[in-house]
């Protein structure tokens, strides 16, 4: 790992010696890194990219050996008809020898043929089509307002929403904001936004904390009661407003969602000193202890009334491990350390080893997926952050780099070609959420940018800092000038109204404030 970090530093130093501006140096440094494939497969390690549609880093594919072949001819052809070729001893060689020659922003068809001792093609090892995506190439549009200003405006947009103002005098949600149908996530986010607003802009403190208390009371009132299997867990779903076609969600709860409510309770406890909220947070954590499986895992979904698992799918554990770590570090609750360690071990054995960074969202079905069918940055980047923030070994820092590069490779779009009408369909740079939802989402931008900042703060990697800043700056660009609204989706299309999720705004606000503090 030390050699790895030193290599980055040395490469940066070599590039820096040339008489070029800072942006050109960063572009060249990024291009050099893009020649290293992300977590390539091998005989004893599965290939994760069977469903991948685009690459920034030179990929390697799971192509099979051809009988009688002594070498392999790789031919990549772009949509313009131009081709690039090289020979290798293996059908699973990365495209590094020609990667930086292939134009960015084009569709590519790759064919790998087995060549015998006479130089004759004796069979095809594999074929693959993909998009050769744009790499990091600054400068990008900088922040159009101060990070703190943008954060406060974003919080005030949430604060002044009529459905949020309703919590000033009610403990029941105004369902005109339909995302309140996901109470742990969205009503919990209202609590977090309001407590952060009370801290950041004290003139709003009394009103913000009044809203936060009533929103939290709703979660408490609708949680399972002490003594029940899911004691203290608020519901993932409320009022049956989840799309009726998604019947698998009715009467069920996502295991990791309760941690979102727990984080909100802790924020409100920090703001008010009211032990009620600490008790609720600890109650949630204690219930998690009773649900942990012998192998260190947790099931992803439970029957909300009985507390029984409803399928055999296991949860991605980063939200819970982060929650346990916060309770240990900030509140001295060491009773969760053993469960957290067992959860880490399960993640290492089953997720990091396979590199199956599967997406698990409350509004999509998690059953019946093939391995690697729905990968997401929302598993990979937050787990990199978790490893780095809890104190990572050299091997874990290397793992974090791979998770961040995977997230960039598969989900970051630094640029995109113009469509047939002559404009870009997304505000770039941006980050897509998952394979099953190819949409730029502000929460995904925050996931990746924060993990990059974590690496920068640990290793001094200036390229990671520059990438993170470019992503975060674009939050201020897409923010509505008049209202402060930070749209959740960053698609640019005629007659398209961006979605808005309050939890995503909370993540954007926290990320903006982090950048302010870092600078």
Q: Where are the alpha helices (DSSP H) in 412-501?
A: 442-459, 462-478
Contacts of 517 (CB under 8 A, 6+ apart): none
In this prediction, residue 10 carries a pLDDT of: 39
- Tell me what the mean pLDDT of segment 130-152 comes to: 98
Residue pair 518/453 in contact (Cβ under 8 Å)? The answer is yes
Q: State mean pLDDT over 253-260.
A: 96
Is pLDDT above 80 for 307?
yes
* Chain centroid offset of residue 238 CA: 25
pLDDT at 383 over 70: yes
- Taken in order of first residue, the domains within the chain and their CATH numbers are 1-56+138-142+372-519 (no CATH), 59-132 (2.60.40), 161-354 (1.50.10.10)
Q: Is the pLDDT of residue 512 over 90?
A: yes
Sign for the CA dihedral angle at 170, 171, 177, 178 comes to negative
Q: What is residue 242's predicted lDDT score, i.e. its pLDDT?
A: 58
Q: Residue 11: what pLDDT?
A: 41
Task: Give yes or no for a contact between 278 and 202, defined as CB atoms under 8 angstroms apart.
Answer: no
- 3-state SS assignment for residue 452: helix
**What is the model's pLDDT at position 89?**
97
* pLDDT of 489: 97
Digit-coded pLDDT (tens) for 197-226: 999 999 999 999 999 999 999 999 999 999
32 has pLDDT over 70:
yes
pLDDT for position 335 = 98
| The pLDDT of residue 450 | 98
- The confidence score (pLDDT) of residue 363 equals 65
Question: Alpha-carbon distance 124 to 110, whole Å?
Answer: 11
Tens of pLDDT, residues 51-100? 999 999 999 999 999 999 999 999 999 988 999 999 999 999 999 999 99
Give the SS3 label for residue 64: coil
What's the predicted TM-score (pTM) here? Answer: 0.93
- Rounded CA-CA distance 364/249 in Å is 9
Tokens at 341, concatenated? 């360690």
Would you list the DSSP string of 179-242?
A: GGGSIIIIIHHHHHHHHHHHHHSGGGHHHHHHHHHHHHHHHHHTSPPTTSTTTTPPPSS-TT-S
* CA nearest to 366, candidates 358, 378, 357, 354: 358
96 within 8 A of 35, measured Cβ to Cβ? yes
CA dihedral for 178, 182, 183, 185, sign (positive or negative): negative
Q: What is the DSSP letter of 457?
A: H
Percentage of the chain modeled with pLDDT above 90:
89
pLDDT given at position 205 = 98
Residue 133 has pLDDT above 80, yes or no: yes
Give pLDDT tens digits for 452-508.
999 999 999 999 999 999 999 999 999 999 999 999 999 988 788 999 999 999 999
Please say if the pLDDT value at position 427 is more than 50: yes
pLDDT-derived band at 4, boundaries 50, 70, 90: very low
Q: Is residue 28 a contact partner of residue 15, using CB atoms and an 8 Å limit?
A: yes
Tell me the pLDDT band of 250, cut-offs 50, 70 and 90. Answer: confident
* Orientation angle between helical segments 462-478 and 2-17, nearest 10 degrees: 80
Enumerate long-range contacts of 432-435, CB under 8 Å, 24 or more apart.
432/377, 433/359, 433/376, 433/377, 433/378, 434/359, 434/361, 434/374, 434/375, 434/376, 434/377, 434/378, 435/51, 435/53, 435/359, 435/373, 435/374, 435/375, 435/376
What pLDDT shows up at residue 12?
A: 42
Inform me whether the pLDDT recorded for 263 exceeds 90: yes
pLDDT tens sequence across 318-374:
999 999 999 999 999 999 999 999 999 999 999 999 999 998 887 667 777 899 999
Residue 20: the pLDDT is 67
Contacts of 457 (CB under 8 A, 6+ apart): 518
What pLDDT does residue 147 have?
Answer: 98
**Confidence bin at 19 (pLDDT 50/70/90):** very low
In the predicted model, what is the mean pLDDT of the chain?
93
The residue-averaged pLDDT of 416-442 equals: 95
pLDDT of residue 246: 60
Compute the distance between CA of residue 497 and CA of residue 87 in angstroms, rounded to an integer. 49
pLDDT tops 60 at residue 407? yes
Give residue 5's pLDDT: 42
For 120-156, the DSSP string reads: -EEEEEEEEEEEE-----S-----SS-HHHHHHHHHH
Strands in 326-424 per DSSP E: 412-413
């Amino acid at each position: 790992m030390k050699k790895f970090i030193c290599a980055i530093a040395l490469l940066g130093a070599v590039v820096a010696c040339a008489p070029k501006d800072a942006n050109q140096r960063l572009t060249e440094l990024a291009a050099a890194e893009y020649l290293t494939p992300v977590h390539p497969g091998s005989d004893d390690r599965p290939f994760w990219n069977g469903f991948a549609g685009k690459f920034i880093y030179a990929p390697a594919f799971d192509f099979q050996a051809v009988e009688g072949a002594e070498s392999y001819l790789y031919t990549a052809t772009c949509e313009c008809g131009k081709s690039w070729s090289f020979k290798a001893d293996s059908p699973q060689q990365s495209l590094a020898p020609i990667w930086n020659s292939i134009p960015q922003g084009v569709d590519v068809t790759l064919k790998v043929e087995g060549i015998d001792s006479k130089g004759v093609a004796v069979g095809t090892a594999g074929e693959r089509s993909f998009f050769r995506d744009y790499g990091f190439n600054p400068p990008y549009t900088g922040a159009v307002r101060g990070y703190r200003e943008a954060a406060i405006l974003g919080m005030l947009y949430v604060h002044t929403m009529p459905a949020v103002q309703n919590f000033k005098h009610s403990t029941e949600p105004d369902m005109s904001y339909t995302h309140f149908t996901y109470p742990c996530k969205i009503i919990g986010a209202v609590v977090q936004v309001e407590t952060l607003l009370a801290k950041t802009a004290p003139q709003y403190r009394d009103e913000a904390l009044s809203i936060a208390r009533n929103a939290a009371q709703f979660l408490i009132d609708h949680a399972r009661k002490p003594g029940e299997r899911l004691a203290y867990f608020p519901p993932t779903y409320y009022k049956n407003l989840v799309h009726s076609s998604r019947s698998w969600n009715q009467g069920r709860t996502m295991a990791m969602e309760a941690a979102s409510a727990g984080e909100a309770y802790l924020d409100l406890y920090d703001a008010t000193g009211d032990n009620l909220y600490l008790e609720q947070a600890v109650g949630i954590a204690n219930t998690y202890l009773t649900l942990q499986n012998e192998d260190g895992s947790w099931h992803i979904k439970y029957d909300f009334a009985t507390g029984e698992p409803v399928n055999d799918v296991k949860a991605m554990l980063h939200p819970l491990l982060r929650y346990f770590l916060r309770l240990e570090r900030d509140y001295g609750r060491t009773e969760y350390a053993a469960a957290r360690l067992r959860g880490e071990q399960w993640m290492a054995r089953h997720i990091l080893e396979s590199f199956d960074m599967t997406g698990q969202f409350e509004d999509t079905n998690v059953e019946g997926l093939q391995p690697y069918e729905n990968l997401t940055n929302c598993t990979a980047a937050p787990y990199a952050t978790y490893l780095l923030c809890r104190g990572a070994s050299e091997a874990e820092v290397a793992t974090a780099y791979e998770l961040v590069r995977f997230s960039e490779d598969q989900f970051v779009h630094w640029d995109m070609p113009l469509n047939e009408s002559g404009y870009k369909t997304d505000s770039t740079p941006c980050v897509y959420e998952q394979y099953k939802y190819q949409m730029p989402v502000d929460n995904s931008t925050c996931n990746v940018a924060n993990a990059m900042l974590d690496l920068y703060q640990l290793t001094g990697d200036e390229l990671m800092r520059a990438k993170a800043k470019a992503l975060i700056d674009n939050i201020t660009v897409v923010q509505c000038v008049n209202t402060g609204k930070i749209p959740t989706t960053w698609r640019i299309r005629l007659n398209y109204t961006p979605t808005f999720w309050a939890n995503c705004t909370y993540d954007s606000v926290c990320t903006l404030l982090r950048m302010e503090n870092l600078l």
